[in-house]
Each structure stands twice: as structure tokens, then as C-alpha cells.
Amino acid sequence: MQRLLIIIALTGIFTATSVVSAPQLRQYSAEIENSVWQLSKNTPLECQLQHEIPRFGQAVFRSVASKGLNMAFELQMLRLPDNYALAEVLSIPPAWRAGEPSKAIANMQLLKQYNGELPKESAWTLLTELEHGFSPSFYFNDWYSPHDKVVAALNPVQFATQFTKFNQCISALLPYSFEDIAFTVLNYESGSDQLSRESSRRLQQIAEYLKYDNDIDYIEIQGYSDSYGGLWMNEQLSIKRAEKVKTFFVSVGLSADKVQVTGFGERRHIAPNQIAIERKKNRRVVLQLSKP
């Protein structure tokens, strides 16, 4: 009898332990009636599509002006991770496709006090799954409760319309970024302040970029010349070239006090002056754009 009581007691302990250790699933997802997708940024410099996850945070897809197609995903959390871990990313089929298995998309690294991020390929996969009506979901252990497992899901309801607008925004992104134009060399025809055809196109590109980026702190314009002509004439020509570029920037809306002009004449050559094709490199204006 005593042995039986011990077995029963031990069984009770094991059962209680298993019940306590079983994780509780804490779910976050927008309901059908409050599933909101928003094109929160829509400019030739940046496209951003975001989705609110009530009581959890939001999911953000982002593509920016660049030479190549790009995409990034960020899972912004109200309670940032307090440890390092991995979140399993699964694509869950809708209820009306009963019996269809979930798809494993990726493992998202979670860093302490940072939002979760996924690179281009995984981000596009999430968008494709949403387009098919699936719910990309993120599973991870809670840092603040050892008994909880968290799942944050994206609701595909109301996604299609905003996704179309998002794609339209992406197709209109400029094919160059700030880094591509931050340091630019413009070249000139001999003995004049007339830009070469290629440099003229480049200047127009920079002007187009400046229409949309209000964070430009200042532009430094440095004018140079080749060594043909007198020192004073070359210095004046280099200043004239730089001033003409400044006038152009002001004409497209940039404040004049953000532009600094310097003329160096034939000083600071970057190529020999004896050969015409090399001498052309010295007839230049150097632009350096700065942001805070």
C-alpha cells in the first residue's frame, strides 16, 4: 500500500511538471475587420508597405532608390528582444485550404534590443505568400516569460490593393541612391564652362534626386581647370564653372546658403596636361554632398 502511494505521488509530480513546462502559445494577429495594410512611404526615393499587428508592433517592407532592385523586411516589436534567439518563419494556409501544410520560409535572427530583419529573397517570399492568401507567421520563445511561446502573424486581408500600389512605387524608384551621387565629378569642354554631354546628364540626375531628399545638409563645389592659359584666367574659369553649377542647384530649389563654392584653377591636377584625352580629366568640377 505504501509503495502504491509513492508511485501515485511520483506520477502526480511528473504530471504536474509536464503541465507546468508545456509552453503557452500567445498569439498576435489583426482580425479580419481590422486588418490594415498601408503604403506609408511613396516617393521616388523610398517605398514602404506596413501592416499593424495589434498589441505586438508592425511589419514593414521597404525598397529604396538604388542601381539594383532591393527589398528588406523588418518586424518592429513593441517589446524588443532581451536575448539572442531565432524566430521560425512559417507561411500558414488560410482556413478554407484545410489540410494544406505550412511552408517553412526562413529562420530570422533576433538580436538583443533590435527588431527582427529578413533580407531581400526572404522578404519577397513573404510578399508572394501574402499575395496567395497565406499568413506569414513568426514563432519564438518569449524572453519575459519562460512559459510562453509567441506567434505574430500577418493577415493577408486587404493586402492586394496596397501591394499593387507598392509595386507601382517600386517601379518608379530612381535608379541611383544618395551614395551613388554623394561624390560626383563633372567634366567640361576645353576653355569653357560648358559641361560635357555625359556630365550634363549626371547633373540632371542629381537635381532630380534633390527634389525628394530634404535632408541634404550642404553641397561643396570645387572647380578646376587644365594648365592651358594663364594662372589667373584658369582660376577665374574654375570659379565660373563652380558658380554656374551652384546657380543651377539654386534654380531647382536648393537653398543658396547650403552651397559652398571654391575655385582652384590649374592646381591639384589629377592627370598629365600634355595629352588631350588626359587633359580633359583636369577640366572638372567636384561635387560633395553631405547629409546629417
Residue 18: predicted pLDDT: 42
> What is the β-pairing status of strands 116-118 and 103-110?
unpaired
Phi, psi values for residue 66, rounded to 5°? -170, 165
pLDDT tens digits along 92-110: 999 888 788 999 999 999 9
- Residue 87 neighbours by CB under 8 Å, 6+ apart: 75, 107, 108, 110, 116, 138, 139, 140
Torsion region of 191: left, alpha or beta (phi above 0 gives left; psi -120 to 50 gives alpha): left
Contact between residue 188 and residue 66 where contact means Cβ atoms under 8 Å apart:
no
Q: Are 131 and 163 in contact (CB under 8 A)?
A: yes
Per-run averaged pLDDT (10 residues), the chain, 292 residues: 40 41 84 95 97 97 95 96 94 88 95 96 98 96 89 97 98 96 90 88 94 92 84 89 94 92 83 67 91 88
pLDDT at 2: 47
Torsion of CA 272, 275, 276, 278, to 10 degrees: -40
DSSP secondary structure, 166-232, as one string: HHHHHHTS-SS-HHHHSEEEEEB-TTSSPBPHHHHHHHHHHHHHHTT-TT--EEEEEE---SSS-HH
Show the cell assigned to 50.
506596413
Residue 137 confidence (pLDDT): 98
- Candidates 88, 95, 78, 81; CA nearest to 155 is 95
Assess contact for 179 and 291: CB atoms under 8 A.
Answer: no
* Per-residue pLDDT at 21: 53
| Predicted local confidence at residue 269, as pLDDT | 76
Cell of 115: 527588431
Domain annotation for the chain: domains and CATH numbers: 24-171 (2.60.40.2540), 178-290 (3.30.1330.60)
Distance CA 185, CA 199 (A): 8
Res 161: pLDDT:
96
Three-state secondary structure call for residue 23: coil
Cross-strand partners of 76: 58
**How many residues appear in the chain?**
292
pLDDT on residue 277: 65
What's the confidence (pLDDT) of residue 231?
86
Gap between the Cα atoms of 206 and 229, Å rounded: 31
